[in-house]
């Protein structure tokens, strides 16, 4: 399965040299946190979806905790153990699976070389495909595959598991969903160019991600 055949996408040289395409964003990898923070203020559908989904989860966690206060649904030691275990699972334990699914999505899109890494200064973990040009559809699969697969796993446990596992999985679901903020921010940026062909690739030499769109009628997009 291939999300978008490579022969239907421009190569890097074409993006750089063909006047049909225009660079709209160059994102240094050491500026990703600043980029994500900026995108959180731009209420397009990906960020709105992110806010709504995580707000619902937070309300559920609050409701379960409140119910435990009044009705003691489970012993508090169990409640707190589930809270800490779910937090650890949602933030730390899923990282290899999350990044592995990003890598799998790149493979599906046609990338041959996958690079994994981390930036502890920014508390970032990443999977990239150096030199691979990804179109909008490619990148949406790359961004959302871990969110979808891992969260469906936690939801399945919430539906079928025992009480402790349900509670732990609810917390893990919330923590993992919030940790997907960078993926949603990237798609939120692309959503700015709705209806336009947009392409991106990572240059490992300059540690920069470049975003291009077709160049006609673009004056309203520059900033």
Predicted local distance difference test score (pLDDT) of residue 4: 42
Identify the pLDDT of residue 57: 97
pLDDT tier, 73 (very low <50, low <70, confident <90, very high otherwise):
confident
The predicted-structure confidence for 153-189, as pLDDT tens digits, reads as follows: 999 999 999 999 999 999 999 999 999 999 999 999 9
pLDDT value, residue 20: 85
The predicted model gives 80-105 an average pLDDT of 94
Closest CA to 191 of 147, 144, 136, 128: 136
Neighbouring-strand partners of residue 116: 127
CB-based contact 162:122 (threshold 8 Å) = no
Assign 222 a pLDDT band (cuts: 50, 70, 90).
very low
pLDDT in tens, 14-71: 888 878 889 999 999 889 999 999 999 999 999 999 999 999 999 999 999 999 888 8
pTM for the whole thing? 0.88
Quick one: DSSP state of residue 26?
E
Q: How much is the pLDDT for 216?
A: 59
Confidence of residue 3 (pLDDT cuts 50, 70, 90): very low
Mean pLDDT for 101-126 is 89
- For the chain, the structural domain boundaries read 11-215
| Cα 79–Cα 81–Cα 86 angle in degrees, nearest 5 | 95
Q: What is the mean pLDDT of the chain?
A: 89
For residue 126, what pLDDT is reported? 86
184 and 50 Cβ atoms separated by less than 8 Å:
yes
């Amino acid at each position: 399965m291939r999300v978008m055949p490579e022969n239907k996408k421009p190569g890097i040289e074409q993006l750089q040299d063909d006047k049909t395409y225009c660079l709209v964003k160059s994102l240094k990898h050491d500026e990703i946190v600043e980029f994500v923070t900026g995108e959180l203020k731009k209420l397009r559908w990906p960020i709105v979806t992110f806010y709504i989904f995580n707000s619902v989860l937070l309300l559920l966690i609050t409701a379960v905790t409140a119910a435990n206060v009044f009705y003691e649904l489970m012993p508090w030691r169990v409640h707190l153990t589930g809270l800490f275990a779910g937090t650890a699972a949602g933030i730390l334990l899923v990282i290899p699976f999350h990044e592995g699914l990003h890598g799998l999505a790149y493979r599906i899109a046609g990338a041959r070389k996958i690079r994994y890494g981390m930036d502890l200064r920014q508390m970032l973990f990443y999977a990239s495909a150096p030199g691979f040009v990804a179109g909008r559809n490619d990148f949406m699969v790359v961004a959302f595959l871990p969110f979808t697969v891992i969260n469906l796993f936690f939801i399945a446990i919430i539906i079928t598991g025992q009480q402790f596992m349900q509670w732990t999985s609810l917390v893990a679901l919330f923590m993992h969903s919030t940790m997907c903020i960078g993926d949603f921010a990237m798609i939120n940026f692309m959503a700015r160019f709705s209806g336009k062909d947009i392409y991106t690739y990572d240059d490992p030499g300059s540690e920069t991600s470049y975003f291009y769109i077709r160049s006609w009628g673009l004056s309203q997009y520059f900033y």
